[in-house]
Amino acid sequence: MIMKNIKINNNPIGIFDSGVGGLNIMNEIHKILPMENIVYFADTLNLPYGSKSKDKIIDLSRKISFFLVKKKVKLIVIACNTASIFSLNIMKNFKIPMLGVIDPCIKFAILKSKNMKIGIIGTEATVNSNLYVNKINKIAKYNVYQQACPLFVPFVEEGIINGNIIDVIIKKYLDSLLKIDIDTLILGCTHYSFLKKALIKNIKKKISIIDPSKYMAQEVLNVLKKKSLISENRFKKNYSFLKIYVSCNEKKFKNTYYKLFNKKIFNVKKVNLEDM
């Protein structure tokens, strides 16, 4: 359906993460907004963010956001749970919409849970912040259980998302959550979206898995509509562009992308964060 009376803005959507985690969000955005231009930044030099200090994460997020603003993005998606937790409120002085991945996942987790037992897996920084627990309990008195999964991100960054070693790690991390009989599981790190099939295989019971990718894509669509920022490119076939920047080792990023999606990507450029 063609939307009328919507202000046209062809500037790109900006997305950033510590590595490949936000690529699933990028792909979901492209599915529902195929004519939107996208600029993606992967801070491969400083990954993983989950073990970094709050001040370091805020500093990196600010530098990357300024870089994206220089690329004339109209909206920024912080496609990293750790960066969303520590940086989103501080970055709201930017003159463009800034979206984090926390709130959309919480909203749908509360809607999905029937027994009011919600599990969260994330990085050590995400779990230690207790932000998910605090936000959920402000809405309703659910039982919320957390588990840090520090090994997941390094494996995903190597393109390893299934196999015996992944099965062993998933069982080790999720055993305590499953014994509590959670009925909803929030993937509290965008990298974990790549492990969704392996998680389903090893959980072996009906649990609603809240994957940030599709919920964030819908949030982007809602904000673009609300702010009248829908691109006119949606009326032009194959018009949109994708540009990817990394802070280190563009060759490795390309290789990991191929392992994850079974297709090559070429337009990856290295930039120096310290020059931003």
| Three-state SS at 58 | helix
Unique residue bearing structure tokens 């965008």: 190
Give the model confidence (pLDDT) of 125-170 as tens digits.
Answer: 999 999 999 999 999 889 999 999 999 999 999 999 999 999 999 9
Q: How confident is the model at residue 5 (pLDDT cuts 50, 70, 90)?
A: very low
Main-chain dihedrals φ then ψ at residue 172, nearest 5 degrees:
-65, -45
224 CB burial (10 A radius; 0-12, 13-18, 19+): buried
pLDDT of residue 238: 55
Residues of the chain with CATH 3.40.50.1860: 13-100+214-275, 102-212
Average pLDDT over the chain, rounded to an integer: 91
Unique residue bearing structure tokens 């659910």: 142
pTM listed for this prediction: 0.90
Rounded CA separation 47/66 (Å): 19
CB atoms within 10 A of CB 175: 11
Q: How confident is the model at residue 274 (pLDDT cuts 50, 70, 90)?
A: confident
In this model, does residue 84 exceed pLDDT 50? yes
**Residue 269 DSSP code:** E
pLDDT of residue 275: 67
Q: How confident is the model at residue 107 (pLDDT cuts 50, 70, 90)?
A: very high
The Cα angle at residue 244 between residues 242 and 250, in degrees rounded to 5:
145
Percent of the chain having pLDDT more than 70?
Answer: 93
Amino acid present at 274? E
Full strand arrangement of the beta sheet holding 208-210: 143-148, 117-122, 184-188, 208-210
Q: Which residues are catalytic?
A: 80, 189
In this model, does residue 2 exceed pLDDT 50? no
Q: How confident is the model at residue 197 (pLDDT cuts 50, 70, 90)?
A: very high
The Cα angle at residue 236 between residues 232 and 240, in degrees rounded to 5:
80
Among 4-8, 180-184, 248-252, 255-259, the least confident range: 4-8
Is 113 in contact with 120 (CB distance < 8 Å)? no
pLDDT of residue 134: 94
pLDDT of residue 112: 94
In this model, does residue 15 exceed pLDDT 70? yes
Amino acid present at 205? K
Q: Which helix (H) or strand (E) holds 108?
A: helix 102-112
Give the model confidence (pLDDT) of 217-262 as tens digits.
Answer: 999 999 999 999 988 765 555 556 899 999 999 999 999 999 999 9
Structure tokens at 264: 């090559």
Written out in words, the top-level CATH class of the domain with range 102-212 is alpha beta
Among 89-93, 124-128, 269-273, the least confident range: 89-93
- The alpha-helical segments, DSSP class H, found in 17-73 are 23-32, 54-70
**Strand 242-246 to 75-78 pairing:** unpaired
Q: Which residue has the higher pLDDT, 82 or 94?
A: 82
Structure tokens at 113: 């849970």
Question: Which fold is adopted by the domain 13-100+214-275?
Answer: Rossmann fold (3.40.50)
Structure tokens at 270: 């290295």
Structure tokens at 156: 């995903």
pLDDT of residue 114: 94
**Strand 38-42 to 13-17 pairing:** parallel
